[in-house]
Structure 1
Amino acid sequence: MPTAATAARTILTRLHEVMASRSHAQAKLNTVVEVIGESLDSEVCSVYLLREGMLELFATRGLAQEAVHVTRMAIGEGLVGTIAGHVETLNLAEATAHPDFSYRPETGEDKFHSFAGVPIVRRERCVGVLCVQHVDPRRYDEVEIEALQTVAMVLSELIANADLVDEDEAFGLTAAQTGTERLRGLTLVKGLASGHAVYHQPRVTIEHTVAEDTEAERQRVYMAFDKMRDQIERMAAQAEFGVGGEHEEVLETYKMFAYDEGWSRRINEAIDSGLTAEAAIERVQQRTRMRMRQIDDPLLADRMHDLEDLSNRLLRIVSGQLGTAASKGLRQDAILIARNLGPAELLEYDKRRLKGVILEEGSLTAHVVIVARAMGIPVLGRVRGLRGLVREGDQLLLDADTGTATVRPAPALVEAFEARFAKNRERQAAYAALRDVEPRTLDGTRITVMMNAGLRDDVPMLNLTGADGIGLYRTEFQFLVSATLPARERQTRLYREVLEAAGNRPVVFRTVDIGGDKALPYLRHDDGNDEENPAMGWRALRVALDREGLLKAQARALLEAAAGRTLNVMFPMVSEPWEFDAAKAVFEKQLDFLRGQKRMLPEAIRYGAMLEVPALAEVLDLLAPRLSFLSIGTNDLTQFLFAADRANPKLAERYDWVSPAILRFIRRVLKGVEGHAVDVTVCGEMGGRRLEALALIGLGIRRLSITPVAVGPLKELISRLPLAELSAAMDGWLLHPPADMRAALVEWAAARGIECD
C-alpha cells in the first residue's frame, strides 16, 4: 500500500498542472474532483464551498450534475455541515447510520454507503468541505484520509486565489461575519474606545502550498528548527531564571516539543507529499487543532496549546514574518486583539495609537490588566470566537463599560457611539476643571483624594487630576515588566524620579507584592509546586521575608531615593504584627548601614501596613501604636471575607462591595485605630466608584486612593455630599441593614440629586 505522502504527492502533481492552467475557476474545480476520485478509486468526489453562509455543492464526480449549485446545507446540517461546523474529519463505513445524516434526493446519493470528508481550512476557518463516497460499505484507509487532508489544504489556496468565492468567504467569513457583529465578554478595565482591529500576533500568510523542490523545502524547515531550538535553549540557559519552579516546567515542555521527533517527522512527511515548508507546518498544525477540539483533559489541552505556540513560532521563522504588531508600529487608532498578553508586551505599543484591548482569555487579576488600568486603556476579556469573527483592519467599537464590542458597525451605530464618546469627553472636561479645587463636602469637611500608580508615566497624572498625592505606588510593576530582577540602582533611580515628580505631595511606596498569581520567572518557589489558591499563597510580604535579599535591596533603594525627604513605606498583606515588625527591622538595619556610611538619609520615615487579611483587624490594638498609617486594600479583602475568588467570572457579581458585611468590617477597622495617630486610607477599586465612595465617606473614611481617572468624578461627588446627614443614615443602615443596601444608597443619593454609577 502506498504511503500517505506518496498518495498525496500523486494527486498534488496532477493538481499543480490544473492550478497552473488558464481555464476558469469552475472548470478547474470540475477537473480537481475527477483527479481526486480517480486517484483514490472513489466513485464520488465532491467539493462544497461556503457561500452566503451556506455550504453549496460546487463540483462533483459521481453525484447528479443537476445538483451542482442547487444543493445547499447550513453549517451543522447533514454530514457536510457537521464537518464544517466542528472542523473535523468524518470516516464512515455506513453514512446513513450517523445521527447527523441528511438525505438529499436531488444528488442521487442513495446508492452510496461509505463516506469520508475533510474540512477545507483557510487561516484557521473552514471555507468548505471535500468528501468522497463509495458504493461498498467500508472505512477509508488512514492513508487515503491523510491524502484528502493534504489536498484540502491545496484547495484552500485555489479557492482563495482563483475567484471561486469572494474574498470575504476565502477568509472563512459568512454573510453574518461581514456584517455587524456584537461580541460579549468580561469587563477587565472600563472605558470606551474605537479603532481598527490589529492582531498582536499577525497571521502568517501562506502564499504557496505546492512545492517546486521538496529537498529545498526540507532544508528550510531544518534551518527553522535549528533557529527555534537555539532560541529556546537561550531562554532556558539564562542565569536569572534560576532552577526549578513552574517556569522551568514550561520551558522543559517547550524543549520536549521542539526536539520531538514525531512532530518533525510529520512535517517532513507533509513535505514529501509535495507541500511547501510553510504549508507542511500548517498542515500538521491543522491536525493538532482538530485533536485539541476533541480533548477534554485541561492539562493535555494546555500541552497542545504549547505545541500550537511552537508551531506559530516555527512558521514565523520559516516564512520570515517575524515580530508582533508592536514591532511594526501602529499606523492608526487600534484595538489590539490577542489570546493573552503580558504587561511588557502591552507596554511595547504606542500609547497614542493604542485605544483598547480585546482578549480571548484574561482575568481581573492578570498583570496586563493592572498595567492597562494604569495606562487608562479599556480591556474586554474572555471573548470567544474572536478569530472567526474579526478580520485585521475591521472597525471596532469597544464598550468595556457594558462588556461588549461591535465589529463592523453600521454608520448609525458609529454616530451614536461618537455622541456618547463626546458626552463622555464633556464630562471629563468638567471633571478636569476641578483639578485645583479641594474636595470638600457641603459642610466643609476635607476629604483627601489620592491616586494609585505603578508606572513612571503615571506620575504626571498628579498634576492633571489635582490629586493630593500617590496613596499607593505599586513597586512590583517594575519587577513584572522586567526579564530579570531589577538591580538596586535601577530601583533607586525609579523611586527618586517618582518622588521628584511628585514634589511636595506624598508618595506611599508599597513594597513588592509578587508571588502567587503574580509569579516572576526569575523568582522560584522552593518546592516548585503550583499553588491551588495563589491569592492566599506565597506572595507579597511572605515572599519578601523569605527572600530577605529582595527586601534588603528594595529597602536600600527606597532609603537612598528618599534622601532629604519623607519616606512613606507600606508592607502588603500583613497578617500578624510580627510580620510588620520583621519587615520594618529590615529597613531599620539598612538605615543603620547608610548612617554608618555617612550617607544622606530621609528626614522622616513613616511605616504603614496594608490591611487585606481579615485576621489583622483582630490585632489592631497591638499593631496600631507602631503604625503611621493603615491602608485597607478592598480588592483582596473582599475576596478573603467572602471566600470568593474575584478572578472567577461566576462569582464576579455575586458579592456586593456595599453589603453590610463589608461596611461593618471597615467600620470595625476604624474603631480599632481610634485613639491612635493612624491615617486610614481605602485603596482599590471600591473607593473609585461613586456609590461605593459615598458609602465609605458615610462610614467615616476621610482618605481615598483610587485610579487617576476616578479622581475628577470623586471630587465632584464629594462637593455634593451633606456629610452629617449621610453619616446619620449610614449609622442607621448598619444598625438595621435594609434588604438591599445598594438600593437604599441609590435611593438616598437620587433623592438629593446625586448621580452615582
Structure 2
Amino acid sequence: MTSAAVAAARTILNRLHEVMASRSHAQAKLNTVVEVIGEGLDSEVCSIYLLREGMLELFATRGLAQEAVHVTRMAIGEGLVGTIADNIETLNLAEAAAHPDFMYRPETGEDKFHSFAGVPIVRKERCVGVLGVQHVEPRRYEEVEIEALQTVAMVLSELIANAELVDEDDYATTGAHTGPELLRGLTLVKGLASGCAVYHQPRITIEHVVAEDTEAERQRVFHAFDKMREQIDRMAAQAEFGVGGEHEEILETYKMFAYDEGWARRINEAIDSGLTAEAAIERVQQRTRMRMRQIDDPLLADRMHDLEDLSNRLLRIVSGQLGSAASKGLRNDTILIARNLGPAELLEYDKRRLKGVILEEGSLTAHVVIVARAMGVPVLGRIRGLRGQVREGDILLLDGDQGTCTVRPSQALTEAFEARFAKSRERQAAYAALRDVEPVTKDGQRITLMMNAGLRDDMPNLALTGADGIGLFRTEFQFLVSATLPARERQTRLYREVLETAGDKPVVFRTVDIGGDKVLPYLRHDDGEGEENPAMGWRAIRVALEREGLLKAQARALLEASAGRTLNVMFPMVSEPWEFDAAKAVFEGQVAFLKARKKQLPEAIRYGAMLEVPALAEQLDVLAPRLSFLSIGTNDLTQFLFAADRSNPKLAERYDWLSPSILRFIRRIVRSLEGHAVDLTVCGEMGGRQLEALALLGVGIRRLSITPAAIGPIKELVRKIDLGGIQAAMDGWLDAPPPNLRAALEDWTCRHGITCD
C-alpha cells in the first residue's frame, strides 16, 4: 500500500470512526458514510448495496437519484454489482457499459457516469454488500483509490454487522459457491459419510476492525510474527519434515513467506491506515485471494495457498485463538477438513460425531490414514483449494468408494446418497448377524478369519465381528500417536489390556514397524539425512536391530504383559533369516533377564515373521523350522514385487492384486511351507476384498487377517464357496494365465451364483 493510499484510507477511517460512534440510526450512518467516502476519494458517486432477502439493495448513495434508494435491487450475479458479490472480487472499469455484465438501471440516473469501481463488503468470508464509486469521466481508478476502498469496505462490514443491516440467513447462502458442486480426489479410506463441514483450524472471525492504538497493533503483529517464525523453525527441526520431497518443499515455502519482509510491511501499512492487527492481516489476505483467482500457473497458485495457510496461522496467534476444532467439540455429524492431520490430532475428535475426513494433501501411507482406516472413518485426499469451495457448515456427502465429495447437495442428490447409505447399512446389519456363525465352506473346510488392530479402541470389534482373534496388532500406533517415546510401563499397560480384552482368543503382536514412511519426530536418523526411497529404507526390523534399546523395552513390555499366557510376537520386514534370529535373541535375552529376577513369564512364546520382502521367500526352507507362524503382508509385498510406490496416485490402479505374478508368488509360499508346522496367514487389504480373498483361498491360504469391517463380507463369501472348485480353477488359470484374471474370476462367481462387492 502506497503512502498516499495509507493517508487516504486513514483520513476516511478517522471520520468513519466518528460516524460509527455517533448515536444516529443505521440509515443515517450509511447516508453519512457515502458522503465521507465520496469526499475522501473526490468521487462524484459513492453507493452502498447491502444483501437483503437474497437481493442486493441500494441502501445509500451520493450522486445517484435518491428515489432509487431501497428501490433498485439486483440478484447475485446480476449486473456489475451482482458480479462483484458473486465472485467476491474487485472491478475497476474505465467504461462500465463495455463490460459484458453491465445492466442499465434508469431509475438511478447513472447514464452520465462512465467509469466504475466496486469492491465487495465481506463478513465471515461471505459477501454482505458492495461499495461502489463512479465518475462522469471515463478512467480506470488509481491503485491508491482501490486500496482505500478495500480498506473502507472492511470497516463497513463491522458497521453493517453491528447495526444488523443484513440477515445472517442471507449471507450464509451467498458467495462464489452456492449450488451443489462435485469435488474429486484420491480415495485414502473407503466408505460413505455425510455431515457438516468443519475446518480443523477454523477461520478467525474478526470482530473489531478499527484500531484504537496503532502502535499497540504494530507490536501485536511484531510479536505474532516472532511466534509464527519460531513455530516454523521448530517444524523444520522435526524429523517428519526432514525426509525430503513434498514436506521439505512446503516447509521451505513456509519459511520464505514467514520471513518475507514485504508481507510484514504490507500488514503494517494496513495498520497505519487505521486497522486492527487482525483486520490488517485479513485485509492483505483478501487482496491475495483476489489475485489467486487470476493465477493460471498451478505451481504459483499452490504457493499462494501456502501463504493463505500461514495467514490463518498468524491470525490465530495474534487473536489468541490457537485451538483446533477438536478443543471446541463437535456438535453435529461432521466431515473434518484439513490440509493435513497427524494421527494424534485425529484421535482428539469425538468418534461418535466424526463421520469422515477430507485432506487437501494426504497419501495412502500417511499416519493419519492408517489410523482413520483402523477407526473406520472414510478419508478423501488430494483436493486443492478447499477453503475456496467449501464453507464452514456446508453439508457434504463424502463417497470414499468413488473418490468424490458433493458439496451443498440438492434434495435429489441427498436422497440418492441416503438410499445408497441405507443399502450399505443393511449389508452391514446382515454381516453383523453372521457374528456367531463359523466361516465354513460348502465342502466343510473351516477358514480362520482374524482381524487387524492397533488401538485400544479397536478391541471391542473382536466381539462385535466374531473374529477368531487379532492376527496383526500394529504396536507402532502407540508410537505414532504419542509426542514422545512411550515408556515401557505404558507399553506394558496397553498390551495387557489388549490381551485381557481378547480373552481366550490369540493376539499376534507385530513389533514396531516405524521408520521409512512412518517417521517419528522423536526418533531421528543418526546422520539427519532423508531417504529417497523410505519404503525400502531404514525401517521396521532394521530400525529395531540398530536401536536395540527400543526393541529391548518393547520385548520386556510384551513379556511382562503376557505373563501366564501365550505370547505371539512377529517381526516385520524380515529380509533374511539372520534378522529373525537377531530379533528373537533380543527377546530371549529379556526372558533370561526376567527369569533371573523370578518374574512370571508367558506360558509359551511363539515367534513369527512378516513376509513383505520377496527375498525372504527364497530362504523359507532355511527359516521355516524356526517359525511358529508366517504372515504375508500384501500391501508392501505388492509394491516391492512391482517396484511401484503404493502412495503414488499414478500407479494406484496400474498393478492389480489379481495379477498372476502375485498369486503365483503366494502359491509358491504356500507350497514351500507344506510339511512344516507353520501357520500361514495373509495380512493386509488384499484379504479384505471378496474377489481377492476368493483368489487367495484358491491358492491355498486358509487364514486371513483383515480389517474389522471386512470380517462380515469375507465370512459371507466363505460360506458360499466350494473350496475344491475354486482351487482347481485357480490352478488352471495360474498354470496358463488368461488375458484378464480378474474377469475370469468374476465370470466364475457369476456362474456359481456368488455375488462379490
TM-score (norm: length of structure 2): 0.84
1:147 and 2:110 equivalent? no
CA deviations 1:300-344 (Å, max 9, x no partner) are: 877766654443344234434342222122233333233322111
- The answer to whether the 8 Å contact 1:242/1:524 transfers is no
The 8 Å contact of residues 442 and 719 in structure 1, kept in 2 or not, is answered as: yes
Deviations 1:427-476 (A, max 9, x none): 33332232222211111111110000000111221122111111111111
Question: What pairs up with 1:500-649 in 2 under 5 angstroms?
Answer: 500-649=500-649
The CA deviation at 1:481 is 0.5
Question: Structure 1 pair 522/84, CA: closer, same or farther in 2 (3 Å)?
Answer: farther
Shift of 1:6: 1.9
Compared with structure 1, are the counterparts of its residues 542 and 47 closer, same or farther at alpha carbon in structure 2 (3 Å cutoff)?
Answer: farther
- Match in the other structure for 2:5: 4
**Cα distance change of structure 1 residues 117 and 652 upon mapping to structure 2, 3 Å threshold:** farther
Deviation at 1:492? 1.8
Instruction: Report the CA distance between 1:291 and its aligned residue.
Output: 6.3
After TM superposition, the structure 1 stretch with the greater mean CA deviation from structure 2, 287-296 or 245-254, is: 245-254
Q: Secondary structure at the match of 2:509?
A: strand
1:350 Cα deviation after fit: 1.7
Decide whether aligned partners of structure 1 residues 501 and 194 sit closer, same or farther in structure 2, where only a CA change above 3 A counts.
Answer: same
C-alpha distance in 1 between matches for 2:526 and 2:667: 39
Give the Å deviation of 1:696.
Answer: 0.9
Q: How many residues align?
A: 749
Residue in structure 2 matched with residue 495 of structure 1 by the alignment: 495
Relative to the length of structure 1, the TM-score reads 0.84
Q: Please state how far the C-alpha of 1:593 moved relative to its aligned partner.
A: 3.2
* Contact in 1 for aligned 2:44/2:62 (Cα 8 Å): yes
Mean Cα deviation higher: 353-362 or 307-316: 307-316
* Secondary structure of 1:377 counterpart: coil
Going from structure 1 to structure 2, the CA distance change for 1:622 and 1:52 (only over 3 Å counts) comes to farther
Question: Residue 717 of structure 1 corresponds to which residue in structure 2?
Answer: 717
Residue 122 of structure 1 deviates from its aligned partner by 4.0
Shift of 1:683: 0.9
Supply the AA of the counterpart residue of 2:472.
L
Q: 1:80 to 1:43 in 2, by over 3 A?
A: farther
1: CA distance between counterparts of 2:6 and 2:177? 38
The question of whether the paired residues in 2 share the 8 Å contact of 1:611 and 1:637 is answered with yes
Q: Structure 2 vs 1, CA of residues 173 and 90 (structure 1 numbering), >3 Å: closer, same or farther?
A: closer
Counterpart residue number, 1:662? 662
Amino acid at match of 1:540: A
Is the 1:52–1:175 contact (alpha carbons within 8 Å) kept by the matching residues of 2?
no
Deviations 1:454-513 (A, max 9, x none): 001112211221111111111111111101111122112211221222222221111222
Q: Which runs of 5+ in 1 are unaligned?
A: none
Deviation per residue, 1:8-54 (Å, 9 max, x gap): 11122234455567889888767656644543446676778889999
**Partner of residue 363, structure 1:** 363
C-alpha distance 303-380 of structure 1, shift in aligned 2 (>3 A): closer
Which position in structure 1 is the counterpart of 2:206? 206
| Matching residue's letter, 2:460 | P
Q: 1:294 to 1:590 in 2, by over 3 A?
A: farther
- Whole-angstrom distance in 1 between the partners of 2:359 and 2:409: 19
The question of whether the paired residues in 1 share the 8 Å contact of 2:95 and 2:139 is answered with no
Match of 1:480 in 2: 480
1:385-534 matches, within 5 Å, as 386-410=386-410, 414=414, 417-534=417-534
Amino acid at match of 2:520: L
* Residue 170 (structure 1) aligns with: 171
| Alignment partners' CA distance in 2, 1:606 and 1:568 | 5
Conserved in 1, the CA contact under 8 Å of 2:690 and 2:714?
yes
Residue 592 of structure 2: SS of its match in structure 1?
helix
Residue 488 of structure 2 aligns to which amino acid in structure 1?
R
What does residue 727 of structure 1 align with? 727
Question: SS where residue 495 of structure 1 aligns?
Answer: helix
Say yes or no: does 1:282 pair with 2:282.
yes
**Shift of residue 130 of structure 1?**
5.8
Secondary structure at the aligned position of 1:590 is classed as helix
CA distance in 1, matches of 2:385, 2:51: 18
**Take 1:15 and 1:26, find their aligned partners in 2: how far apart are those partners?**
14
Cα deviation 1:260-315 (Å, max 9, x = unaligned)? 66554443322221112221222233345456667889888777666544433442
Moved more, 549-558 or 484-493: 549-558
More moved, 655-664 vs 703-712:
655-664
**Matched residue SS, 1:336:** strand
SS in 2 for 1:617: helix
Partner amino acid, structure 2, of 1:13 = N
Unaligned ranges ≥5, structure 2: none
Distance 1:739 1:62, change over 3 A: farther
Q: Is the 8 A contact 1:332 1:353 kept in 2?
A: yes
Q: Secondary structure at the match of 2:197?
A: strand
The percent identity for this pair of structures is 80
Distance 1:744 1:459, change over 3 A: same
Letter in 1 for 2:447: I
Letter in 1 for 2:611: L
Kindly indicate whether the alpha-carbon contact (under 8 Å) linking 2:241 and 2:251 is maintained by their aligned counterparts in 1. no
CA–CA distance in structure 2, aligned partners of residues 302 and 530 of structure 1: 24
Change in Cα spacing, 1:449 to 1:635, as seen in structure 2 (3 Å) is: same
Task: Give the Cα separation in 2 of the matches to 1:249 and 1:406.
Answer: 31
Is residue 83–residue 101 contact of structure 2 (8 Å, CA) maintained in 1? no
Q: Which moved more, 1:167-176 or 1:338-347?
A: 167-176
The residue matched to 1:728 in structure 2 has which SS? helix
Q: Which moved more, 1:423-432 or 1:323-332?
A: 423-432
Of 447-456 and 216-225, deviating more is 216-225
Correspondence for 1:351: 351
Asked if structure 1 preserves the Cα contact closer than 8 Å seen for 2:475 and 2:509, the reply is yes
Q: 1:413 to 1:134 in 2, by over 3 A?
A: closer
Alignment of 1:221-370 (within 5 A): 221=221, 263-289=263-289, 308-370=308-370
In 1, the alpha carbon distance for the partners of 2:365 and 2:589 equals 34
Task: Please say which of residues 399-408 and 625-634 is displaced more in the overlay.
Answer: 399-408
Superposed displacement of residue 620, structure 1: 3.0
Residue 435 of structure 1 aligns to a residue whose secondary structure is coil
Deviation for aligned residue 1:722:
0.8
- The alignment partner of 2:584 has SS state of helix
Q: Which amino acid aligns with 1:553?
A: A
Post-superposition offset of 1:541: 2.4
Cα distance in 2, alignment partners of residues 568 and 349 from structure 1: 32
Q: Quick check: 1:122–1:172 contact (8 Å CA) kept in 2? A: no
Letter in 1 for 2:568: N
- Whether the aligned pair in 2 keeps the contact of 1:196 and 1:332 (CA below 8 Å) is yes
Change (3 A) 1:528 1:58: farther
- Of residues 51-60 and 632-641 in structure 1, the stretch that sits farther from structure 2 once superposed is 51-60
Q: Distance in 1 between matches of 2:532 and 2:188?
A: 23
Distance across 1 between alignment mates of 2:735 and 2:488? 51
Instruction: Verify the 8 A CA contact 1:57 1:72 in the aligned structure 2.
Output: no
Determine if contact 2:240/2:520 at 8 Å carries over to the other structure.
no
Q: Deviations over 1:71-101 (max 9, x none)?
A: 88959x999969975x777879x889xxx96
Change (3 A) 1:412 1:472: same
Residues 1:483 and 1:726: Cα distance change in structure 2 (over 3 Å): same
